[in-house]
Each structure stands twice: as structure tokens, then as C-alpha cells.
Amino acid sequence: MNSKQIECALELALTLNFGQAAENLYITQPTLSYHIKTLEDEIGFQLFERSGKGAVLTPAGKQFTQDLRQIQNHLQEAIERGQNFGYRYNETIRLAIFDIKALPILPQAIKIFSHTHPNTYIDVQFNATDALEQLLNRQLDIALAITSSLPNITELEATFLYQSPIYLVVENSHPLSTLKTAKSTDLNNQTLMVSQISPKELKEAQKKVISKSQVKTFNSPNHSSTITNILSGRGVCLVPGFLKDNTPNLTWIPFEETSGIACSIVKRKDNHREVVQDFQKLLNEFLQDN
């Protein structure tokens, strides 16, 4: 399988028209058909049902082109990182965080670090669900993680970075929006958004509210759904401070009955690279000053 075959398959999957796909790729229609046919012969199954100039994805073709597009995106990211690295850097630090809101000082920290370490590139990954596995495989140098969620892996070490508070989040016109701080009993007769994938500390805070107040619960699968539900007037929610952003029409009220959620920097115990240690030290200094 070559890049031209991939390009042709993905373009035809978008247009479902041989003529349009060929025009978009600046090739002839017979050339497009040739690349599609040789790709299908190579992989051993049909991607498209043909009908005149039109095309319809087969079930296997639909799944294959979806996976192929992800591979193409990852490949492009790898090429761009390699180009960046080869252009001006001779060393890299690979960092994973779950959201830029979890480490808002990161851009400024990178900016300052680049002055003291001009030949080191900070390669940041977001929402890396396999960050610990990548650390173990030496594909990452450091990762930001919720301390309580870390398994006991002897090869890794965690260093406390900061304590994220927990907030009660309500829509601006909600009666609770005038509170300066919130406690469990304030939520009487409210609908509380909950999630099964919440950090341990957040689940404990939710249980405390449920045990002390007369609340209804509403399952919300992710943070975006939760915010949408709050803004739609469907309920309120306890949210980690590391997800706090500037979404309009929301009020974030500190929740009293919790010490928050500890977040740590994780790395391999045998990673003794000086630049990694320097960057970790800089992050700690930034958070102490802010």
C-alpha cells in the first residue's frame, strides 16, 4: 500500500464520485480507478460498489477508510514533529497532559524554557489515554496524571504538582449562582450530574452530596455533555478545577467539603535526562508562583 493509493481511497470515500475525486486530486479518472483497484487487490476485499461514475462504500470499506484516515493523520503529525525537530532542535521532551486547562501555565513555561534550552523541543500530546503505557515504553518522558488514579507500577514515580479544587458549576441565572462557597446541603432538591469515569475524589464528593441532601442524579458521559446539560437547565455538577474554562453563562462556586484532587507529574524512575529534570523543576516553580 502506497501513499497515492491511500490518498485516492480517502478522497473517493469523501466524494463518492470518481470524476469529482479525480478532479480534486488532479489526476485522470482511469488513474484513480487503477489505484483503487490495485489497493483492493492488495488488501483482499472490496472498498467501493461501483455505479457509473458513482461509488458507494461497502461496510468493510467504510470501516477501513475511517481507520485509514486516522493513520494518515497520525503519519502527518509524525512528519510535522520530525520536521520541527530536524529544523532547529537536537533534543526533545515528550509530555502528555489530558487538557490544556489542566496546566494553563504550560505555554508560558515552554516559552521561558526555550530561552534557557534553545535546542530542546517540547512535544505535547493532549488526551493521551495510554500515557502510562507510553511512559513504560519510553515513548513519553513525563505525563500529568491524577494521583489517585495511578496504579502501583514499580518503574514509574509520581511527584506532586498541585491540588485542584472542586467547584459546584451552575448556569448564571440559577438560584445557587449567588453563593460564594457551596456545601452539600445547598444542593437540596437539585439534579446533580454524575459520571462513572470521575476521579476518586470527585466521586466521594458526589456521594457526600447524595447522602446529605435530597438530590436527583443524572448520568452524564463526559465533560462536554455535562456543560451542555448545565447550560440547558437540566441540573448542576461538581467539576474539577483543572477543567475550568471561560465558557460563558457559567458560575464556578468553590465546594467546601473536599480537599480537592491531587495532580502529579509521572515519569520513569530511570529517566535521568537533565533537560527533563530541568523542565519538571520549572513547572513546579511556576505553580508555586501562581
* pLDDT attached to residue 204: 94
Write down the pTM of the prediction.
Answer: 0.69
* Over residues 216-229, mean pLDDT: 91
Report the pLDDT value the prediction gives residue 281, as an integer from 0 to 100: 94
Pairing of strands 120-126, 142-146: unpaired
What pLDDT was estimated at residue 290?
Answer: 63
Q: Do domains 3-80 and 89-159+265-289 have the same CATH topology?
A: no
Q: Out of 83-97, 196-210, 268-282, which region has the weakest mean confidence (pLDDT)?
A: 83-97
Mean pLDDT of 94-100: 91
Q: How many other C-beta atoms lie within 10 A of the C-beta of residue 254?
A: 15
- For residues 45 and 196, the model is more confident at 45
Q: What is the pLDDT of residue 243?
A: 92
pLDDT at 86: 61
Instruction: Indicate the average pLDDT of the chain.
Output: 91
How distant is the alpha carbon of residue 259 from its chain centre? 25
The arithmetic mean of pLDDT across residues 159-188, rounded, is 96
pLDDT at 80 over 90: no
Domain ranges of the chain: 3-80, 89-159+265-289, 166-259
CA distances from 65 to 7, 8, 235 (A): 10, 11, 39
**240: CB partners within 8 A, 6+ apart:** 164, 165, 166, 167, 199, 202, 261
Note the pLDDT of residue 221: 87
Kindly report the CATH class assigned to 166-259. alpha beta
Q: What is the assigned CATH class of domain 3-80?
A: mainly alpha
pLDDT over 80 at 77, yes or no: no
Does 3.40.190.10 match the CATH number of domain 89-159+265-289? yes
Tens of pLDDT along 115-137? 999 989 898 988 878 899 999 99
Mean pLDDT of 34-45: 91
In this predicted structure, what is the pLDDT of residue 84? 65
